[in-house]
Amino acid sequence: MDNDLLNNSFIGIDIGGSHITAAPISLSSGKLQIGKKVRQLVDAKGSKASIIKRWTEVITTFTETTDKSSVKIGIAMPGPFNYNEGISLIKGLNKYDALYGLNIRKELSASTGLPPSNILFRNDAESFLHGEIIYNKIPRETKALGVTLGTGLGAAISINRETKDVFRAIEPMYDGISEDYISTRWFQKRFKELTGDSLSDVKTLLKQDQLIQKKIFSEFGKNLGLFLDSFISDENATLVIIGGNIARCLDQFKEEALAQIQTSNIQITQSTLWENAALIGAICSYKEAEKMILETTSKDLQDTNDIVESK
C-alpha cells in the first residue's frame, strides 16, 4: 500500500459564500479519518486583505508546527474560477469581488509558507460529487449527477469516476435563471411574498404554519424537478446525489420533484457525507490521496465531529 497519506498531511478546505471550513484527513487501519474541523465566518464583501487573512488564519491552524513541504491542501472553491492557475474570476455575484483576477495560489503560498504546488483548487460542486463517488465507491459505470442546494445552485457530473462541474445555475427558468428559483434566496423571497415576514434560512420554514410550509416546499420541488428533468435527460444519468443545507429537508419536496421527472430508472438520494464530501473531494485533487481513499477497507467514516468556530 502507498504510504503517501502517512507521509503527507492532507487538509481539505471548503470555501463558501460566508464561511471557510477546514479539517485534516488521514487514513488509519483502513478507515478514513476526519480530524477536528475549524470553521470561521468570512466577510465575502470585504477587502482582499481581510479575506486572505481569514483564510490564512484557518490554514495555519494546521500548518504552524508542521514541515510545510509535507502539507498538501485541497480547496473546494465556488466559481467562476481558473482552477488550474488558481485565479479568481468571481465578479458581480455579491461575494469575493475584491479577489477578481487575483492569483489565490500565490497569495496563500506567500501568507502560509506552503509551496504553490501543494495548494490545489477544485470547483465546490465537483468536489462534493467526487467525494461522494470516491468514498462510497460508486461503480465506475454509473453516470452520476451532483446537485448542491444552498446559497447558490451547484451542478456536476461524474462518468467513470471522472468528475467535472457544469455551470447549469444560469440555465433559463421562468423569467430568470435556475438559481433564482432553486436557492435559499428563492425561499426567502417566496416566504416574504406570502407572509410579509423574513425567513432567516430554510430550516426555520419547518417551524412555520403548515399550509405555508407545504405550499413553498411544493413549489420548490416543482422547480427542482424541472431542473433535474432537463439535467438527467441531457446527461443520460442514472443517479442523482443531492447535497447542501436545503437537501436536509429533501423529504419535504422530493415527491413533487420526482413528479416532474420523465426519465425512468433514476435514483435520487441525499448526500451521505454532507460537508465532508467537499473536503474529501478537494483532497482527491491529489491522485495519491484518491488512491488511498479507494483502498479504504472500512465503510465507517471516523469523524470527530469536533468543530472549532469563531467569528
Q: What is the largest CA-CA distance in the chain?
A: 60
Number of domains in the chain: 2
Classify the C-alpha dihedral 72-75-76-82 as positive or negative.
negative
Q: Are residues 116 and 210 in the same domain?
A: no
CA dist 264 and 245 (Å) reads 27
Neighbours of 217 (CB within 10 A): 21
Residue 10 pairs in a beta bridge with 25, 72
Q: Are residues 107 and 220 in the same domain?
A: no
The reply to whether 98 falls in a domain is yes
Q: Are residues 250 and 289 in the same domain?
A: no
Q: Are residues 158 and 173 in the same domain?
A: yes
Q: Are residues 31 and 15 in the same domain?
A: yes
C-alpha grid cell, residue 98: 475584491
The reply to whether 283 falls in a domain is yes
Q: Is 182 helix (H, G, I), strand (E, B) or coil?
A: coil
The reply to whether 132 falls in a domain is no
The reply to whether 222 falls in a domain is yes
The reply to whether 119 falls in a domain is yes
Query: Residue 189 maps to which CATH number?
Result: 3.30.420.40
Q: What is the pLDDT of residue 309?
A: 62
pLDDT averaged per 10 residues, the chain (length 311):
62 92 85 89 94 96 84 94 96 90 97 96 96 93 94 92 92 94 95 94 91 96 97 95 95 95 91 94 94 78 64 50
Question: Cis (ω within 30 of 0) for the bond into 24?
Answer: no
Q: Are residues 42 and 153 in the same domain?
A: no
Q: Is 20 helix (H, G, I), strand (E, B) or coil?
A: strand
Q: Are residues 150 and 266 in the same domain?
A: yes
Q: What is the pLDDT of residue 156?
A: 97
Q: Are residues 262 and 186 in the same domain?
A: yes
Contact of 24 with 35, CB cutoff 8 Å: yes
Q: What is the DSSP letter of 203?
A: G
Contacts of 84 (CB under 8 A, 6+ apart): none
pTM: 0.91
CA dist 79 and 90 (Å) reads 6
Q: What is the pLDDT of residue 295?
A: 83
Contact of 119 with 73, CB cutoff 8 Å: yes
Q: Are residues 118 and 192 in the same domain?
A: no
The range of the structural domain enclosing residue 67 comes to 4-127+274-310
- Count Cβ atoms within 10 A of the Cβ of residue 180 and give its class: 0-12 exposed, 13-18 middle, 19 or more buried: middle
The reply to whether 241 falls in a domain is yes
Q: What is the pLDDT of residue 18?
A: 85
Q: Are residues 122 and 9 in the same domain?
A: yes
Q: Are residues 240 and 122 in the same domain?
A: no
Hey, what amino acid is at 301? L
The position carrying cell 465556488 is 78
Q: Are residues 232 and 283 in the same domain?
A: no
Q: What is the pLDDT of residue 229?
A: 96
- What distances in angstroms separate CA 214 from CA 53, 122, 208, one per listed residue? 43, 36, 10
Helix axes 184-195, 210-235, angle to 10 degrees: 150
